[in-house]
């Protein structure tokens, strides 16, 4: 599906929001599973695992800003628990803040 078609699929709601083009492009990449949004940093990071949508956890160093992506085992658990109440989980992002190895010394 091309970006244009995807935007058209959003219809009136997508047009009403009118986010900046860059943001829209990043949002598109996120939906394609090629990037993750880190809410607490208000940032996007490219995902090397794409284009499959998957749960992801980020280890974020509050000192140097280093971020590392790991795949949490809890992703499947959350999906299963959601499914039990009829909820379809499409993405899950966990943000873990702390200090990386280099910043602990
Ligand atoms: Zn990823
Ligand atoms: Zn650090």
What is the distance between the alpha carbons of residues 68 and 27, in angstroms, rounded to a whole number? 20
Flag whether 62 is in a domain: yes
40: CA distance to ligand 2 center in Å? 16
Ligand minimally distant from the alpha carbon of residue 38:
1
Q: Which residues pair with 59 in a beta bridge?
A: 68, 96
Domain CATH for 57: 3.30.1490.190
21: CA distance to ligand 1 center in Å? 23
What is the distance between the alpha carbons of residues 57 and 33, in angstroms, rounded to a whole number? 14
The pLDDT mean for the chain works out to 80
Percentage of the chain lying above the pLDDT 90 cut: 30
pTM, two decimals, is 0.65
Flag whether 22 is in a domain: no
Per-residue pLDDT tens digits for 1-41: 455 565 566 565 555 555 567 778 888 888 777 888 888 88
64: CA distance to ligand 2 center in Å? 4
Flag whether 40 is in a domain: no
Whole-number pLDDT of residue 55: 81
Q: Smallest Cα–Cα separation from 70: which of 98, 40, 91, 49?
A: 49
Flag whether 64 is in a domain: yes
Ligand minimally distant from the alpha carbon of residue 66:
2
Total domains in the chain come to 1
Flag whether 2 is in a domain: no
Whole-number pLDDT of residue 99: 97
Range of the domain at 76: 48-104
Whole-number pLDDT of residue 10: 58
Of 18 and 54, the one with more pLDDT: 54
């Amino acid at each position: 599906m091309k970006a244009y078609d995807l935007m058209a699929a959003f219809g009136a709601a997508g047009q009403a929001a009118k986010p900046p083009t860059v943001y829209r492009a990043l949002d598109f990449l996120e939906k394609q599973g090629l990037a993750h949004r880190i809410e607490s940093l208000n940032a996007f990071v490219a995902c090397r695992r794409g284009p499959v949508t998957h749960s992801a956890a980020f280890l974020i160093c509050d000192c140097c800003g280093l971020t590392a992506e790991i795949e949490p085992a809890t992703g499947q658990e959350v999906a299963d628990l959601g499914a039990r109440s009829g909820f379809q989980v499409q993405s899950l992002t966990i943000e873990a803040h702390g200090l990386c190895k280099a910043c602990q010394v």
